[in-house]
Amino acid sequence: MKLLLEGNEDPRSVLIAREIGAISDADIVSWANRHAAPQNYAEDIDYLRLVRCNPKNATALGGAHGHLRSLIARRFPDFNDRSTEASEIAREMFLRRLRNYLQNDIDPFHVCRMVSPIERKYESPHWLGDLYNACDWTDERTTREQASHLRDAIEQILADNAENPANGGN
């Protein structure tokens, strides 16, 4: 599976990606280990805990989301994860994940698990399109072949968000 995060993302983007279900706690740790932190948080205790986290240790990994939230609360105190700014970050991460799906990099469940968190946090934003209905009856066992209709819904969402799926984005 292709990584959603490249390592150059701002911690706020990583937090939003985690909160909409686009990434896991292991992805947070992976990001921290590839990320070149700027001076303003390179020595932050929670950032260092992320960098030093053993992804094979379930207890340590379970704290990754909390460490990221603590880092952001301290270093970016004005950031609100329900703001218009955060909603735009969520939209960008969501569209990035949809493009991953079209490139056959993830399975249907990885797309569909984002629907509920996005609906709750951003009050069913227009950019979610009709993914709720397209994801009906999709679970961890659903194959791409069983969810062929999902591709059409994703292509429509990307088109509605001014993205051309044929060229991988804008």
- pLDDT tens-digit readout, 88-134: 999 999 999 999 999 988 999 999 999 999 999 999 999 999 999 99
CA distance 99 to 45: 34
Query: Which of 32, 29, 20 minimizes the C-alpha distance to 55?
Result: 29
CA distance 107 to 70: 31
Residue 81, φ and ψ in degrees, nearest 5: -75, 0
CA distance 168 to 24: 23
- pTM to 2 decimal places: 0.91
* 37 residue type, one letter: A
CA distance 152 to 65: 33
117 contacts 20 by C-beta, under 8 angstroms: yes
Can you say how many angstroms the Cα of residue 16 is from the centroid of all Cα atoms in its chain? 6
**pLDDT per residue over 52-71, tens digit each?**
999 999 999 999 999 999 99
CA distance 117 to 102: 21
The token pair that represents 168 in the structure block: 């991988």
